[in-house]
Amino acid sequence: MRFKDKVVWITGASSGIGEALTYEFAKHKAKLIISSNQQTELERVQQKCKEMEVECFIQFLDMTEVEKMKTIADQLIQKFGSIDVLVNNAGISQRSLVEETPLDVDRKIMEIDYFGTVALTKAVLPHMIQNKFGYIAATSSISGKFGFPLRSAYSAAKHAIHGFFETLRAEVYDYNIKVLIAFPGRIKTNISLNALTKEGKVHGKMDQGQDTGISAEKCARKYVNAIRKDKKEVLIGSKELLMVYIHKFFPGLFYKLARKIKPT
Report the predicted TM-score, pTM, of the whole model to 2 decimal places. Answer: 0.94
| Beta-carbon count within 10 A of 263 CB | 8
Question: Mean of the pLDDT values across residues 191-204?
Answer: 76
Question: How far is the C-alpha of 105 from the C-alpha of 27, rounded, in Å?
Answer: 38
Pick the CATH number of 7-239 from 3.20.20.450, 3.40.50.720, 3.90.650.10, 3.40.50.920: 3.40.50.720
- Average pLDDT over all residues of the chain: 93
Q: 118 Cβ partners below 8 Å, 6+ apart? A: 164
pLDDT value of residue 210: 64
Residue 258, pLDDT score: 82
- What pLDDT does residue 203 have? 73
pLDDT above 70 for 262:
no
pLDDT band at 215 (very low <50, low <70, confident <90, very high): very high
| 208 phi and psi angles, rounded to 5 deg | -60, -45
Confidence grade of residue 260 (pLDDT, cut at 50, 70, 90): confident
CB 41 within 8 A of CB 15: yes
Provide the pLDDT confidence category of residue 213 given band limits of 50, 70 and 90: confident
* Strand (E) or helix (H) holding 157: helix 152-171
For residue 192, pLDDT over 80 is answered with: no
CA distances to 196, 215, 220, 246, 256 from 45, rounded to whole Å, are 25, 17, 15, 38, 43
Averaged pLDDT for residues 42-68:
97
Residues 102 and 123: their CA atoms lie apart, in Å, by 31
Q: In what order do the strands lie in the sheet with 31-36?
A: 56-60, 31-36, 7-11, 85-88, 134-139, 177-184, 233-236
User: Minimal CA–CA distance to 172: which of 120, 137, 125, 140?
Assistant: 125
Cβ atoms of 90 and 35 within 8 Å: the answer is yes
Parse the chain into domains and list their residue ranges: 7-239
Task: Transcribe 226-256 into DSSP letters.
Answer: HHHTT-SEEEESSGGGHHHHHHHH-HHHHHH
Give the separation between CA 52 and CA 167, rounded to whole angstroms: 37
Under DSSP, the state recorded for 196 is B
DSSP for 63-93 reads TT-GGGHHHHHHHHHHHHS---EEEE-----
Which of 68-82, 121-135, 247-261 is least confident? 247-261
Asked whether residue 112 carries a pLDDT value surpassing 60, the answer given is: yes
**Annotated catalytic residue 223:** no
Contacts of 126 by beta carbon, 8 Å cutoff, 6+ apart: none
- In the predicted structure, residue 239 carries a pLDDT above the cut 80: yes
Catalytic residue among 114, 135, 154, 223: 154
- Region 113-142: mean pLDDT is 98
At 153-182, the pLDDT tens digits run: 999 999 999 999 999 999 999 999 999 999
**Cβ 86 vs Cβ 124: under 8 Å:** yes
CA distance 155 to 79: 36
Residue 102 confidence (pLDDT):
95
Backbone angles phi, psi at 66, to 5 degrees: -65, -25
Distance CA 244, CA 104 (A): 30
For residue 206, name the pLDDT band (cuts at 50, 70, 90). Answer: low
